[in-house]
């Protein structure tokens, strides 16, 4: 285990006293095996207890510790110090308001997530006695990758469209809507389409693809959004050119 001094430049903001954020430098003695989150924990425990940030699991599952590390959206628990030279700049996730230090206000994402109904809406209600809704491995495979989303919001921080047009429902929420639309047991697509096939939905996406590049769970939100676009276009043609084929 080798040790080195890592220079951390952390964005600080106290809403009670500061008009705008500023950077604070910490020289942190770190083990080579540490991740950025370990360095932040070391700062908080031994140097500056006022530093605020979110974290929980320390193993890329909870999605709490998303932040900008050298300008790139990353999970702090997955950003190994050995991959960085020189000063490491740590900022709150881009495109979200800063609550305090590295903590952002995520209400916008949570509201959008609720809007797209990211849960199973069965085609027909059936009593528990009727048994489970069965699904083949191939049907599961169709949407499985989208179930890996941990709601870390790195994709929102990477998406320039969301930064410029905040009403955009955004990558993760639409991908999760797509996940349920693709589920053979689900019958809620029409309800979700009202949200995701709108101007604030997929049509705000211009396919930069940054969301998929930064996703720590290798979900492909950019792919999901393009697939929703294609399916919504097919819907439109069916509705307008083939009267009677849809309701």
Partner 1 sequence: MSAHGKPYVREVSRYRWFLRSPRYMRYMVREVTCVFIALHALVLLVGLKRLSEGREAWETFLDNLTAPFGVQLQLLILAFAIYHSMSWFNVTPKAMPVQIGEKFLPGAVIIGAHYAGWFIVSIALLFLAGVF
Question: Between residues 120 and 164, which has the closer beta carbon with respect to partner 1?
Answer: 164
Q: Is residue 187 a contact residue for partner 1 (CB under 8 A)?
A: no
In contact, 219 and 212? CB cutoff 8 Å: yes
222 DSSP β-pair partners: none
Which of residues 47, 208, 236, 237 is near partner 1 by CB under 8 A? 208
For residue 90, state whether it binds partner 1 (rule: CB under 8 A). Answer: no
The single residue listed with the structure tokens 């590390």 is: 69
Q: Least distance (Å) from partner 1 to the CB of residue 155?
A: 13
Q: Is 11 exposed, middle or buried (0-12, 13-18, 19+ CB in 10 A)?
A: middle
Rounded to whole angstroms, the Cα distance separating 211 from 90 reads 20
100 near partner 1, judged by CB under 8 A: yes
Cβ distance to partner 1 smaller for residue 112 or 117: 112
What is the distance between the alpha carbons of residues 38 and 12, in angstroms, rounded to a whole number? 18
163 versus 187: smaller Cβ distance to partner 1: 163
Chain centre to alpha carbon of residue 46? 31
Binding residues for partner 1, rule: CB under 8 A, are 13-16, 18, 20-21, 71-72, 94-95, 97-100, 105, 107, 137-138, 141-142, 160, 163-164, 206-210, 212-213, 220, 222-223, 226-227, 229-230
């Amino acid at each position: 285990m080798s040790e080195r001094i890592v220079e951390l430049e952390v964005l600080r903001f106290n809403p009670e006293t500061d008009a705008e954020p500023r950077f604070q430098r910490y020289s942190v003695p770190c083990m080579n095996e540490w991740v950025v989150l370990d360095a932040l924990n070391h700062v908080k425990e031994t140097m500056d207890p006022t530093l605020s940030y979110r974290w929980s699991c320390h193993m890329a599952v909870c999605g709490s510790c998303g932040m900008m590390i050298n300008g790139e959206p990353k999970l702090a628990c997955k950003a190994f110090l050995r991959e960085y030279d020189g000063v490491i700049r740590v900022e709150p996730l881009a495109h979200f308001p800063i609550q305090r230090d590295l903590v952002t206000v995520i209400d916008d994402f949570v509201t959008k997530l609720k809007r797209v109904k990211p849960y199973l809406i069965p085609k027909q209600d059936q009593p528990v006695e009727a048994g489970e809704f069965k699904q083949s491995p191939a049907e599961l495979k169709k949407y499985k990758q989208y179930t890996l989303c941990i709601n870390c919001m790195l994709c929102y921080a990477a998406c320039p469209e969301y930064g410029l047009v905040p009403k955009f429902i955004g990558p993760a929420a639409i991908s999760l809507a797509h996940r349920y639309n693709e589920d053979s047991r689900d019958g809620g697509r029409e309800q979700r389409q009202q949200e995701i096939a709108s101007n604030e939905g997929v049509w705000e996406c211009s396919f930069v693809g940054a969301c998929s590049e930064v996703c720590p769970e290798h979900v492909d939100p950019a792919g999901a959004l393009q697939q929703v676009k294609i399916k919504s276009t097919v819907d439109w043609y069916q509705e307008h050119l083939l009267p009677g084929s849809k309701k």
